[in-house]
């Protein structure tokens, strides 16, 4: 049985990818791999605190590997640090990395090319699935998520911090992918069938960053 790691953003796509891989079987999930921003201690792009990422990994029962990048670091820095991590994982018998990507062909080719350089392959369990179908599958499987970041070019501030549920899907403007595949929004998953138990969170401040992205800060809380 091959050993793989999952590229883990903390959001719905990576959670659903893990759910699909678990149901299919045929591989051992050796851990999750996340890019975080140094100094901010947050998941890159999603803006979620590392403390919550660690709680997710604990609830998954999987080892967590972090690739730390500097604020404003270029793509070359990211590739170098990711390669170093992948080479270490390859030495531990990991043969592939799974992603929650759906339909960005250029991104998939780039990922596969970089993995081939270190003797690994890419797995894409959600590839070419419809955005609406993905959203419905996620909700019907019993996952619960919160919108952590919205792109103001697609959605207004009111969507930041909302639960990712059928009500939200009904409120999405025309042209916005229900799965956020064009970067319209990002999520944090705090409950679902891949976790041993829910991850308690509360919503904090909503702020605008880079003049474009609305972030809802999520704060870890203790179980009731």
CATH number at residue 173: 3.90.1490
Read off the pLDDT of each residue in 112-141 and give the average, rounded to a whole number: 96
In a domain, 200, yes or no: yes
Residues 149, 117 share a domain: no
Residues 78, 27 share a domain: yes
- The structure's pTM equals 0.94
Structural domain span for residue 48: 2-123
Residues 146, 118 share a domain: no
Task: Give the gyration radius of the chain's Cα atoms.
Answer: 17
Assign 135 a pLDDT band (cuts: 50, 70, 90): very high
What pLDDT shows up at residue 1? 83
- Of the chain, the percentage scoring pLDDT greater than 70 comes to 100
C-alpha separations of 110 from 4, 10, 116, 205 in Å:
18, 22, 10, 36
Taking alpha carbons only, the member of 49, 100, 4, 59 closest to residue 193 is: 59
In a domain, 14, yes or no: yes
What pLDDT shows up at residue 74? 85
| Number of domains comprising the chain | 2
Q: What is the CATH number of the domain that holds 36?
A: 3.40.50.620
In a domain, 133, yes or no: no
Residues 176, 102 share a domain: no
Residues 87, 58 share a domain: yes
Residues 108, 17 share a domain: yes
Assign 195 a pLDDT band (cuts: 50, 70, 90): very high
Read off the pLDDT of each residue in 160-184 and give the average, rounded to a whole number: 95
Residues 206, 164 share a domain: yes
Residues 115, 47 share a domain: yes
Read off the pLDDT of each residue in 118-132 and give the average, rounded to a whole number: 95
What pLDDT shows up at residue 94? 98
In a domain, 113, yes or no: yes
In a domain, 65, yes or no: yes
pLDDT above 70 for 221: yes
Assign 224 a pLDDT band (cuts: 50, 70, 90): low
What pLDDT shows up at residue 41? 86
Residues 159, 74 share a domain: no
Domain-ending residue, one of 123, 154, 174 = 123
Residues 201, 93 share a domain: no
Residues 176, 116 share a domain: no
pLDDT for 71-96, tens place per residue?
888 889 999 999 999 999 999 999 99
pLDDT above 90 for 222: no
In a domain, 72, yes or no: yes
pLDDT above 90 for 46: no
What pLDDT shows up at residue 155? 97
Read off the pLDDT of each residue in 174-186 and give the average, rounded to a whole number: 93
Read off the pLDDT of each residue in 125-132 and give the average, rounded to a whole number: 94
pLDDT for 138-155, tens place per residue?
999 999 999 999 999 999
Q: Which of 56-65, 74-83, 179-188 has the highest mean pLDDT?
A: 56-65
Residues 91, 12 share a domain: yes
CA 37 to chain centre: 14
């Amino acid at each position: 049985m091959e050993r793989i790691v999952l590229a883990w953003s903390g959001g719905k796509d990576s959670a659903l990818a893990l759910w699909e891989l678990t149901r299919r079987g045929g591989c051992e999930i050796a851990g999750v791999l996340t890019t975080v921003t140094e100094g901010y201690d947050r998941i890159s792009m999603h803006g979620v605190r590392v403390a919550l990422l660690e709680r997710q990994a604990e609830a998954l029962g999987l080892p967590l590997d972090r690739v730390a990048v500097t604020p404003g670091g270029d793509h070359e820095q990211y590739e170098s640090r990711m390669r170093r991590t992948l080479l270490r994982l390859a030495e531990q018998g990991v043969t592939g990395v799974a992603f929650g990507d759906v339909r960005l062909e250029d991104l998939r080719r780039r990922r596969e090319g970089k993995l081939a350089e270190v003797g690994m392959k890419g797995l894409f369990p959600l590839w070419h699935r419809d955005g609406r179908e993905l959203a419905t599958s996620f909700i019907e499987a019993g996952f619960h998520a919160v919108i952590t970041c919205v792109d103001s070019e697609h959605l207004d501030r009111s969507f930041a911090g909302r639960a990712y549920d059928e009500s939200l899907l009904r409120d999405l403007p025309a042209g916005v992918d229900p799965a956020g595949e064009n970067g319209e929004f990002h999520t944090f998953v705090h409950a679902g069938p891949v976790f041993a138990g829910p991850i308690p969170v509360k919503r904090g401040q909503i702020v605008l960053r880079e003049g474009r992205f609305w972030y809802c800060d999520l704060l870890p809380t203790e179980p009731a």
